[in-house]
Amino acid sequence: MKKLIDLITDEVKQAFEDKGYESKFGMVTLSNRPDLCQYQCNGALAAAKIYKKAPIMIANEVVDSLKGSKAFEKMEAIMPGFINITLNNDYLVNYLNSISQEERFGCEKAILPKTIVIDYGGPNVAKPLHVGHLRSAVIGESIKRISRFLGHNVIGDVHLGDWGLQMGLIITELKKRQPELVYFDDNYTGEYPVEPPFTITELEEIYPAANEYSKSHPEFKEEAKTATYLLQNGKAGYAALWNHILNVSVNDLKKNYENLNVSFDLWKKESDAQSYIPGMVEYLKEHNYTRISEGALVVDVKEESDTKEIPPCMILKSDGATLYNTTDLATMIERMELFGPDEIIYVVDKRQELYFETVFRCAKKTKLVEENVKLTFLGFGTMNGKDGKPFKTRDGGVMRLENLIGSINDAVYQKMVENRDMTEEESRTISKKVGLAALKYGDLSNQASKDYIFDIDRFISFEGNTGPYILYTIVRIKSIINKYNEMNKTSDRGEILPSVIPSEVNLMLEAAKFNDVIEHSFYEYAPHKICQYIYDLANAFNSFYHENKIISEEDKKKQQSWITLITLVKGILEQCIELLGFDAPDRM
């Protein structure tokens, strides 16, 4: 279904054309003075420069042309040439009644769906998820859901780090601790054990211990490098250990991502791209894309128009070793081969922008990725503590993500038991939903590229621009609808009726923006626009609710119209929070 603002724009564009002006000047936007009008068109100001005519004259002609339109209640030309627009109530209500009958509330699916790969995980195996992994997971999950809602074919990939020196460090540390394990016996020819020789807790302790030890023991680090080389070249015992590390890590990662309501279609790893590397290197050499620089194999990606320094993209180090560049390029080849995507989106820390620009240029210059495939770097800012520095634990360490989730759930639980009469089980269940909403909304309500302050007290507040406030609004609407159904012994819905109540008209206008907001959120990779929208919609509902006694209203037609309207609002709010990656309880 067409967006309301597009329907209005079509009429205004036609009016410009009817008066002999280009239709492009008829673009309509939301009013920046809602106290004066609902929408506005400023095209007469631009048209005046082209047609050498006073803008107010053009605006008056357009307004005069639209006098017979059923869409507009009021249309005024205001000096120096603004056109102020207020919709006809019947026109607005007809639009709302139409979208209320649709499962997707007037949001159209893409006519030409894209295939989109989103790379939004990036954890390393054998390490716990920490707060630094939050934004990639939360933003990527929302982008995936928004894209799918609009009908696109989306593949979400966690893209695990599993192939570097960390593997050699773990294997070497394990050998130091348990040299008797069969994985280190070169003469062993039997089947390797099914059960891993460590738990996730032990594994998460082994890596940092090995890493720290290697800093002051160069012989240990050399042994780890050798172990990495042997693993990557197929040593059976090391490969068996590597599989154990993967299985134990992935099972734990899945549990933690599940607590965030984040899921991936693919659990691909750096190692999956290794088989593509030899052929890729050979191709780059054969087509003269590479040169030797200080012994390393590189591709120059700097362009004449660059005003900043762009380093070459290194493909192989001087000792022949691969790098992240190599793996990322090989992964692009794999993705092109497996999925033929129209776009690949990388949701990563914004500090990696130069790195990805280099890799993207290399991929396009060398034709590893076709020219029409869009490569998107979606860089996110840092989650900081109240001191403005990256968020840490009280003792200065990096906080584990599960501890962060636990602390926010506990804070919500304490607030729940202080103010609500609920069983322990219900309080815990609800606090998890509210806690997740607080965490995700607290993150997503910020523009992705911006740093933000993690403030648990503000995030869990039931007032203001927070996740709990949005959930509380949904729960309030559910309660009103349930009471109405109990009183009337029906769940039948009527039609939304025209209104002159300002708070009701405002609520209608907010509800009508849904499909426009979702479309812009998709094109701009901007979940924060959905957050701002549902905050505005929740505020509009609460203003309407406080001014009108819905349940005690004696005019049954008016009451039924109100119930139909708030049912639509509830549906839109629930759809939006689903796109953000959380849901609402039945009560709070």
Question: DSSP letters of 136-184?
Answer: HHHHHHHHHHHHHHTT-EEEEE--BB-SSHHHHHHHHHHHHH-TTSGGG
pLDDT score for 396 = 66
- In total, the chain counts a number of residues equal to 588
DSSP string, 515-583: HHHHHHHHHTT-HHHHHHHHHHHHHHHHHHHHHS-TTT-S-HHHHHHHHHHHHHHHHHHHHHHHHHT--
Determine how many CB atoms are found less than 10 A away from the CB of residue 324.
14
Same-domain pairing of 275 and 255: no
Residues with pLDDT less than 50, the chain? none
Domain boundary pick from 87, 109, 137: 87
| 95 occurs within a structural domain | no
| 146 occurs within a structural domain | no
| 226 occurs within a structural domain | yes
Report the alpha-carbon angle 533-515-506, nearest 5: 50
pLDDT score for 492 = 67
Amino acid making up residue 582: F
Same-domain pairing of 249 and 291: no
| 352 occurs within a structural domain | yes
Same-domain pairing of 421 and 499: yes
How is residue 216 written in tokens? 């002051």
| 119 occurs within a structural domain | no
Same-domain pairing of 24 and 64: yes
Question: What mean pLDDT is reported for the chain?
Answer: 95
Strand, coil or helix: 119: strand
Question: In sequence order, what are the beta bridge partners of 90?
Answer: none
| 148 occurs within a structural domain | no
Report the alpha-carbon angle 580-583-584, nearest 5: 135
pLDDT score for 491 = 63
Cα–Cα distances in angstroms (integers) from residue 369 to residues 337, 418, 520, 577, in the given order = 10, 57, 27, 35
Q: Which helix (H) or strand (E) holds 87?
A: strand 82-87
How is residue 57 written in tokens? 């004259």
Domain boundary pick from 64, 87, 110: 87
Q: What is the pTM for the complete model shown?
A: 0.95
- When divided into structural domains, the chain yields a total of 4
- 531 neighbors 580 (Cβ within 8 angstroms): yes
- 568 neighbors 511 (Cβ within 8 angstroms): yes
Same-domain pairing of 493 and 555: yes
Give me the phi and psi of 449, to 5 degrees please. -75, -10
Question: In sequence order, what are the beta bridge partners of 86?
Answer: 74
pLDDT score for 69 = 96
Same-domain pairing of 197 and 234: yes
CA distance 573 to 538: 8
Give me the phi and psi of 254, to 5 degrees please. -60, -40
pLDDT score for 422 = 85
Same-domain pairing of 328 and 284: yes
pLDDT score for 389 = 85
pLDDT score for 395 = 67
Same-domain pairing of 68 and 194: no
| 74 occurs within a structural domain | yes
Domain range for residue 338? 271-368
Cβ neighbours for 209, distance < 8 A, ≥ 6 positions apart: 173
Peptide bond into 80 cis (omega under 30): yes
Same-domain pairing of 507 and 422: yes
Checking 412-421 for CB contacts under 8 A at 24+ apart, the result is: 412/438, 412/460, 412/468, 415/460, 415/462, 416/588, 420/588
pLDDT score for 390 = 82
Strand, coil or helix: 289: coil
Domain boundary pick from 207, 235, 259: 259
Q: Residue 495's closest CA among 486, 508, 477?
A: 508
Same-domain pairing of 255 and 316: no
| 132 occurs within a structural domain | no
pLDDT score for 232 = 87
CA distance 526 to 448: 7
Specify the CATH number for the domain of residue 70: 3.30.1360.70
Same-domain pairing of 483 and 564: yes
Strand bridging mode 82-87 / 39-41: antiparallel
Specify the CATH number for the domain of residue 547: 1.10.730.10
pLDDT score for 231 = 93
How is residue 512 written in tokens? 């009508």
Instruction: Please give the torsion angle defined by the CA atoms of residues 515, 520, 526 and 532, in that order, rounded to the nearest 10 degrees.
Output: -50
Same-domain pairing of 239 and 277: no
